[in-house]
Amino acid sequence: MILGTYYCIDGHTCGNPVRLVTSGHPTLLGESMSEKRQHFLRDYDWIRRALMFEPRGHDMMSGAFLYPPTTADGDVAILFIETSGCLPMCGHGTIGTVTFGLESGLITPKEQGVLKLDTPAGRVNAYYEMKAGKVTWVRLYNVPAFLAYQAVPVHVDGLGEFIVDIAYGGNFYIIVEPQSLFAGVDQSCAAELLAWSPKVRAAVNAQINPIHPEDSTVCGASHVLWTGKPQHPDSHAANAVFYGDKAIDRSPCGTGTSARMAQLFAKGLLKDGDTFVHESIIGSQFIGKVEGTTEVAGKAAILPSIQGWARQTGSNCITVDDEDPYAFGFQVL
């Protein structure tokens, strides 16, 4: 029996894949995208696994579905899927989804140049430039970001003690700055980061369970953000974000950049109005900015923006058949 046929636009945002699924949307219950995300996780997570994992995807695969807005003034809603789960927010995924949606005519803005997006993490406004039918850049005004925990000592079996910060930028990030056991991303290879990250993440989550104070369904530190010196002279810092079971973000990571700016702001290393150019493991860049300050449940937070670009690489039609023994995907760990 054919379980589903999914037409997709494939592409990437600054190097990291984005698969915009344009058909086969399950009907989701809930008043908000946060509630709809919970319904998807309960009943339809097999769709995510089928489309993101091998043999139809790969360890870095990330994607999204477009839905009608859940707010009166919204243009469109986004449900994020990737190998690490169904995320509250995804920055590079939003940039790619907005780009492909506009270029294909799937998204029609109420006001040219801006989109009001409903995401599981909350309202995200996206500004963009479009020339000759192509989106040249997208700037996201993300949800409030904040430093949740600072200077947490964590013992990691087989490695030793790390000092980490945990910050929220749409997802919770474990931020590892250069220290005795880690010289920086510029001094580390991808294989080392892939080996260390699951251990660091497991140790942190065994010790701390970060929970968003305004939405308890947003919990747990799912990503590890390793920091270091950039390759380009116009970048302020570099990072490598680990997610899923063995993925490193090829983009500078939008929610990760938001979390990093919140961390630096809380430490007095960024101020309101500052620009922060963040670099990925492959050298691609996002332009971040502290657009303002606010509070989240009494905790100081920033209003971050992220600018980047995306490109389409093709389109495809994916069939999920229950006679296929690998219908729901697999990983080779």
According to DSSP, the residues that pair with 204 across neighbouring strands are none
Q: What are phi and psi of 185, to 5 degrees?
A: -65, -30
The H or E element containing residue 156 is strand 146-156
User: Residue 253 catalytic?
Assistant: yes
Catalytic entry in 90, 189, 219, 317 = 90
d(CA 116, CA 103): 17
Q: How far is CA 91 from the centre of its chain?
A: 5
Q: What are phi and psi of 184, to 5 degrees?
A: 125, 155
One-letter amino acid identity for 54? E
Catalytic entry in 8, 14, 86, 253 = 253
> What are the structure tokens assigned to 173, written together?
């990030």
Evaluate the omega torsion of the peptide bond into residue 55 and state whether it is cis, within 30 degrees of 0: yes
User: Residue 14 catalytic?
Assistant: no
β-bridge pairing 172-176 and 221-228: parallel
> What are the structure tokens assigned to 15, written together?
């190097």
Q: Tell me how crowded residue 176 is: count the other CB atoms within 10 A of its CB.
A: 28
Residues tagged active-site? 90, 253
